[in-house]
Structure 1
Amino acid sequence: MPTTDRLQLTILGGGGFRVPLVYGALLGEDSPIGRVVLHDVDHGRLAAIRRVLAAQAGSVPNPPVVEATTDLTEALTGADFVFSAIRVEGLAGRVVDERVALGEGVLGQETTGAGGVAYGLRTVPVATAIARRIALVAPSAWVINFTNPAGLVTEAMAGHLGDRVIGICDSPSALARRVVRALGDPAAARIEYAGLNHLGWLTGVRLGSENLLPRLLGDDGGVASFEEGRLFGAARLRELGAVPNEYLHYYYDTEETVRAELKAPETRGEFLLRQQEECYREMASDDPLRAWQAALRQRDATYMALEGLGERDDAEGGGYERIALALMMAIARDEPADLILNVRNRGTIAELDDDAVVEVPCRADSAGAHPYPGAVLPSHGVELVRRIKATERAVLTAAAEQSRAVAVRAMASHPLVDSVPVARRLIDGYVSRLPSLSYLR
């Protein structure tokens, strides 16, 4: 267990737009972090984010010291925690993910469908190299992975870091908060949730031996009071007997979603690329924090809107930074916390092998994250989870073997592609436009 005397947090992707969310969470009195080292390959973005963090610290007494470097080994040296939030080829790469897929009439979302496979193929080699470097330079560090596709990347890094890498995502925790709030915020309620990252279901809200979820699903007004209820509808939720993660919309309503994206004037990636280019320019002004905050509000309000879901009226500003802080507090100070995390399965979900990274409720403490036993997938979700895990494994194999043929197999195996000819054209398109995929032969 690390001591709490000025612990060091290294943030990989330290010039990223959401870094101020993490730093803001560290400004509270209880934060165990005394030093933050930002690492990025882009000097300009690092400088812009440092300006925002300095403004955030303002008059806060004894804020964490911030340093920045483009040297990975320097950044990792002395790290107690490593927060990984990289984006290989940046938002321009995401635009390619989306546009190549839509050109074939299939979904190009960054973690789901063809776009998610392409993102994984270019990210896994980089994440694996980073994991090897961490194992050499900072073997006692705990790695918190937010790099997407989060479950796949966490599994790739776990091959070198074991249980010292833990994946986080704000989506299932936000879902749980909304459902519990719709039930009237019962004290000591225990959440039952199972699946993979961006592919899970909330199956129960336990208060003692009673599952409160059926009561909520039977109440049309209660279902309409939270985002996923409005997205999926009360009838569908009652049929499922569970509340899906919002990303299941891409599987349940695929044709509708693709049609909406094809009609949209720009993809989500194009919107974010345009917005961030403007925002980083404005960060050079006298008020970089205000420029960043304005862009964040717009980003949150339009989350998933370009996929045809409309603007969110209950956006909660992310939330992953609170999960990251709670996880660091649990490890650094042995303050146990119940969190939904991406960890190795170890028998938790019966349908998957022990090394598969799954997204399930865990108890976090000084020894890491421990999944609660017996997470249960809804019967209607079992085959989908198996297929997506098989796709993830094929991506890992393609990256390890640098095999274009296996990459095609991975793409074709995804249920939202499900075609070898389409998969072959997709891989050809991605390789021709993404230099990071030139390793595929």
Structure 2
Amino acid sequence: MKLTVVGGGSTYTPELIDGFARLRDTLPLTELVLMDPAADRLQLLGPLARRILARQGHGATVTTTTDLDTAVDGADAVLLQLRVGGQAAREQDETWPLECGCVGQETTGAGGLAKALRTVPIVLDIADRVRRTNPTAWIIDFTNPVGIVTRALLQEGHKAVGLCNVAIGFQRKFAALLDLAPADIHLDHVGLNHLTWETGVRLGGPEGEDVLPRLLSDHGDTIAADLHLPRPLLDRLGVVPSYYLRYYYAHDEVVHELRTKPSRAAEVAEMERKLLTLYADPTLDEKPELLSKRGGAYYSEAAVDLAAALLNGAGSPYQVVNTHNRGTLPFLPDDAVIEVQAAVNQKGPKPLPLPSPPPLYAGLMAQVTAYEDLALEAALHGGRTRVFQALLSHPLIGQYAYAEHLTDQLIAHNREHLPWA
């Protein structure tokens, strides 16, 4: 079994390699290809990947290349984890929106739109080349903004599934609070990528007992502290929102925080410098502890689980993925991309039936879905008007004066990545 990682020079990669090594029985890889245009990164990550696998007795071969067609030739699955523009572009995404008093964040709001505009054309070019070289390969997208990128891939007919680590993070946290194994926890996970709510926490599977009320009663303070949201809000909602909902539920508070402390991008850039120094150590043969602070917790477990289900029917029978709505949430179009529990096998994901969420969640989902439609149009076809329309429609922006200014700033800061500009 051959798997290709596009963006294999990422500092995330050792987390992924560690998962491949530990979960070899679930996903029996024989060949792993790390592809990245940054040859200097590959010179560090390739040898480190081999050492991590060797330490754990995994026999897969690891090759590195800067050539995409070579990398995907014969691959059973291609995992996308790229960042167009690198951390420098992320730093911009997180800062210029603050000028208008809007959240500066890399996956939502104006910064998220900038990332989508940079990313979608590149991902579609990669996917087209995968299809020409190896049309049977699955594409697993971990590249943000996952919902919009996955929608672009599916709209073009690619065999693609979107993946995020938010759900698996909640599963692990809830299992620890309840003193259970993660496999015993099934989440009623509902929403869009980075706009999700845990509306149920079930024991054993989708038909199991819902212990969310008990979880909130006994551990609500801990959960609220993790989310940086007040405990009374969780009690009134009766659900657990993802931490991305804080950008909506506490917008002004978040903007104030972002204006008064170093950006997350600056923190990550410094962390990456330290990680790359560690990766250059020829004696390092395991993922360093510092990597746990980089983000993407449990990414490797989620990726292995999904790849195994798609390729050989192994892995968990139900997984949280990003895929077409297909009537699952009747208030959204069938071709909207939602993030929900699905039954996953070699034919792909099939969302599990869900009750319609109450208007408190459904309204926000519908509005952000409408924004994502406009964002994808802007990413595919360009143009200042399309960018303005997408920004104006986003619930974190919504005022024409802000949208006008942010449109100008977005184009100015991303001109090198936008051929139409």
TM-score, normalization by structure 1? 0.88
Pick from 369, 384, 394: which aligns with 1:389?
A: 369
CA distance in 1, matches of 2:100, 2:311: 48
- Give, in angstroms, the shift of residue 161 of structure 1: 3.5
Alignment of 1:17-416 (within 5 A): 17-28=11-22, 29-30=24-25, 31-162=27-158, 164-185=159-180, 190-207=186-203, 208=207, 210-217=209-216, 219=217, 221-226=218-223, 231-264=228-261, 266-289=262-285, 293-299=288-294, 318-335=297-314, 337-416=317-396
- Give, in angstroms, the shift of residue 189 of structure 1: 5.1
- Give, in angstroms, the shift of residue 347 of structure 1: 0.7
- Give, in angstroms, the shift of residue 282 of structure 1: 4.3
Corresponding residue number in structure 2 for 1:14: 8
Corresponding residue number in structure 2 for 1:305: none
Provide the alpha-carbon RMSD of the alignment.
Answer: 2.2
CA distance in 1, matches of 2:271, 2:212: 39
- Relative to structure 1, the CA distance from residue 188 to residue 46 in structure 2 (aligned partners, 3 Å threshold; closer, same or farther) is closer
Please list the CA deviations of residues 322-351 of structure 1 after superposition, one character each: whole Å capped at 9, or x if unmatched: 011111222232225211111111111111
Please list the CA deviations of residues 37-72 of structure 1 after superposition, one character each: whole Å capped at 9, or x if unmatched: 111111111111113212212343343211111111
Flag structure 1 segments of 5+ consecutive residues without an equivalent: 1-6, 301-316
CA distance in 2, matches of 1:272, 1:289: 22
Q: How many residues align?
A: 414
CA distance in 2, matches of 1:59, 1:289: 6
Please list the CA deviations of residues 85-140 of structure 1 after superposition, one character each: whole Å capped at 9, or x if unmatched: 01001111100111111222211111121111111111111112122222211110
- Relative to structure 1, the CA distance from residue 440 to residue 424 in structure 2 (aligned partners, 3 Å threshold; closer, same or farther) is farther
CA distance in 1, matches of 2:257, 2:339: 29
CA distance in 1, matches of 2:416, 2:370: 23
Corresponding residue number in structure 2 for 1:429: 409
Please list the CA deviations of residues 217-257 of structure 1 after superposition, one character each: whole Å capped at 9, or x if unmatched: 3x2x4212436666333321121121101111111111111
Is the 2:116–2:379 Cα contact (8 Å) retained in structure 1?
no
Is the 1:195–1:377 Cα contact (8 Å) retained in structure 2?
no
Is the 1:347–1:373 Cα contact (8 Å) retained in structure 2?
no
- Relative to structure 1, the CA distance from residue 223 to residue 144 in structure 2 (aligned partners, 3 Å threshold; closer, same or farther) is same
CA distance in 1, matches of 2:52, 2:39: 20
Compare 372-381 and 13-22 and name the one that shifted more: 372-381
- Give, in angstroms, the shift of residue 433 of structure 1: 2.4
Is the 2:187–2:201 Cα contact (8 Å) retained in structure 1?
yes
Please list the CA deviations of residues 142-200 of structure 1 after superposition, one character each: whole Å capped at 9, or x if unmatched: 111100011111111112234x2111111122213323443453985542121001101
CA distance in 2, matches of 1:225, 1:288: 35
- Give, in angstroms, the shift of residue 436 of structure 1: 4.2
CA distance in 1, matches of 2:368, 2:185: 30
SS at match of 1:125: helix
SS at match of 2:288: helix
Is the 1:84–1:146 Cα contact (8 Å) retained in structure 2?
yes
SS at match of 2:200: strand
Is the 1:150–1:169 Cα contact (8 Å) retained in structure 2?
yes
What is the letter of the counterpart of residue 6 of structure 2? L
Is the 1:12–1:86 Cα contact (8 Å) retained in structure 2?
yes
Is the 2:275–2:291 Cα contact (8 Å) retained in structure 1?
no
SS at match of 1:123: helix
- Give, in angstroms, the shift of residue 379 of structure 1: 2.3
Flag structure 2 segments of 5+ consecutive residues without an equivalent: none
TM-score, normalization by structure 2? 0.92
Is the 1:344–1:358 Cα contact (8 Å) retained in structure 2?
yes
What is the letter of the counterpart of residue 343 of structure 1? T
